Amino acid sequence: LSRLEDRMKTWYSSGQKLGDIFLELTEFLKVYTMYVNNYNNSFATVTECMSNSKFAAFMSQTNHSPEAQGLDMSAYLILPIQRLPRYVMLLQDLFKHTNATHPDYANIQKALQKMKQVADYVNERKREAENLNQVLAIQNKLTGVSKSDTLAEPHRRYVRRGSLMELDIRGMPQPFFFFLFNDILVSTEVKGRKSFKGGSINRASFSNWDEQAFNNGKFKYVSKLYLSGGGLTDLPTSDRIPNAFQLILPHQHIRTFLAISEAEKNAWMSDIDDSISMVLDKERSRQGAQLAEEDYHPP
């Protein structure tokens, strides 16, 4: 800010330039990453502290002070998050209204490109941090997980969770709670859920309990299915196995699942199919890189 203020004082004698200042600024803005990654925790901490009457009274008093300028703590916490997008918008507007023959045109253009790259970088790191937190939160809810079955892997991305029936070796539907990631499908049991004794599904027992189960319960780890080389088959609906589909894995390993509705089945199939495709793309990319390395012969 001080550099911009000094530049404005010598605006005409300095050639009416601002691009070089923003260009230098972009080199330091990746430090926002740590703050952005921790923003959700900071906001949650302030919210939790507001339940303390002394803290709430202090915040109320502070919010009405002249220094606060009418903003509360949550408003100030979000300001750094909003800073990068505002820099991008400012440079876009500045570039739009700068003539191509102006001596500052090239620097403004470069600064805008770099600012967009920094904003994308920070946003991507934020997504990665949030996803890792999701994976760790799920792992912390699981019991009976061995070290070899740990979920926390650098490449792993959480996709969805929810309840599905799975047919056992007798063809009987059993309730499980599943966690889908970009490379695996994890099945768990929720305490209190019962197996079905008849040949049909009791829909009253198989209803919208997903979020309540996730928020309140612990899950017993059952198995982990690797999606590599997998495929899906949509099964025709019948009274006995409504809204069913199969996950076909290598070595003729077939698992049959039943959803609560056709829409739920389609959602699961779509997300599993996308995850299988991502695994395949990653494997192809890795194989291509290996072939390129093998074909390379240094001069």
pLDDT tens sequence for the chain (299 residues): 677 777 788 777 777 788 888 888 887 888 888 888 888 788 878 878 888 899 989 988 888 888 888 888 878 888 888 888 888 999 999 899 999 998 889 999 999 999 999 888 888 877 777 787 788 888 888 888 887 788 877 788 899 999 999 998 888 899 999 999 999 999 998 865 554 444 444 554 454 455 666 666 789 999 999 999 999 999 998 877 889 999 999 877 899 999 989 999 999 999 999 999 988 887 776 665 555 555 545 55
**What is the predicted pLDDT for the residue at 199?**
44
- Which residue in this structure is represented by tokens 């045109």? 105
**What is the predicted pLDDT for the residue at 299?**
54
**What is the predicted pLDDT for the residue at 209?**
53
Nearest CA to 34 among 121, 158, 112? 121
- Compute how many other C-beta atoms are within 10 angstroms of the C-beta atom of residue 121: 15
DSSP β-bridge partners for residue 131? none
Burial 124-156 (b: 16+ CB within 10 A, else e): ebbeebebbebbeebbebbeebeeeeebeeeeb
**What is the predicted pLDDT for the residue at 4?**
78
**What is the predicted pLDDT for the residue at 130?**
78
Instruction: Give pTM, 2 decimals.
Output: 0.62
The pair of three-digit structure tokens given for residue 238, joined into one six-digit string: 């019948």
**What is the predicted pLDDT for the residue at 197?**
44
Surface-to-core class of residue 48, CB atoms within 10 Å of its CB (0-12 exposed, 13-18 middle, 19+ buried): exposed
Element (H, E) at 298: none
Confirm if 73 and 46 have CB atoms less than 8 A apart. yes
**Main-chain dihedrals φ then ψ at residue 252, nearest 5 degrees:** 55, 30
**What is the predicted pLDDT for the residue at 48?**
83
Length of the chain: 299
**What is the predicted pLDDT for the residue at 198?**
43
